[in-house]
C-alpha cells in the first residue's frame, strides 16, 4: 500500500518532473478485500516513518532548492 507513495516521494526528492493522469478504479462486486488491517497498517506506518525521517534529513537541500529556484525564476 505504501510502495507507490514511496516511489512518488523519492522521485520528487530527486527533482524528476512528472504529470498526473486520471485512472479508473474498479472494485470487485463481491466486496472482498485483500487488505489485512494490522499487517498492512504496520507496513504503511513504517513507510511513512522512513519518508518523514528522510524528509527531515534532506530539509536543508529542499530549502536550498526552493531558494535558488525563486532567485532564478
Task: Collect all residues with Cβ–Cβ distance below 8 Å to 20 and sequence separation of at least 6.
Answer: none
Predicted pLDDT at 1: 65
Per-residue pLDDT at 37 exceeds 80: yes
* Total count of residues recorded for the chain: 73
Percent of the chain with pLDDT over 90: 42
Decide if pLDDT at 18 tops 70. Answer: yes
User: pLDDT category, 72, cuts 50, 70, 90?
Assistant: confident
Q: Which three cell numbers stand for residue 19?
A: 504529470
Q: What is the pLDDT of residue 73?
A: 64
Q: How confident is the model at residue 13 (pLDDT cuts 50, 70, 90)?
A: confident
Amino acid at each position: 500500500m505504501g510502495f507507490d507513495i514511496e516511489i512518488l516521494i523519492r522521485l520528487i526528492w530527486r527533482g524528476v518532473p512528472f504529470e498526473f493522469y486520471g485512472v479508473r478504479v474498479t472494485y470487485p462486486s463481491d466486496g472482498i478485500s485483500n487488505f489485512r488491517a494490522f499487517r498492512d497498517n504496520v507496513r504503511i506506518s513504517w513507510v511513512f516513518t522512513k519518508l518523514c525521517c528522510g524528509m527531515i534529513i534532506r530539509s536543508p537541500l529542499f530549502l536550498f532548492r526552493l531558494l535558488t529556484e525563486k532567485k532564478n525564476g
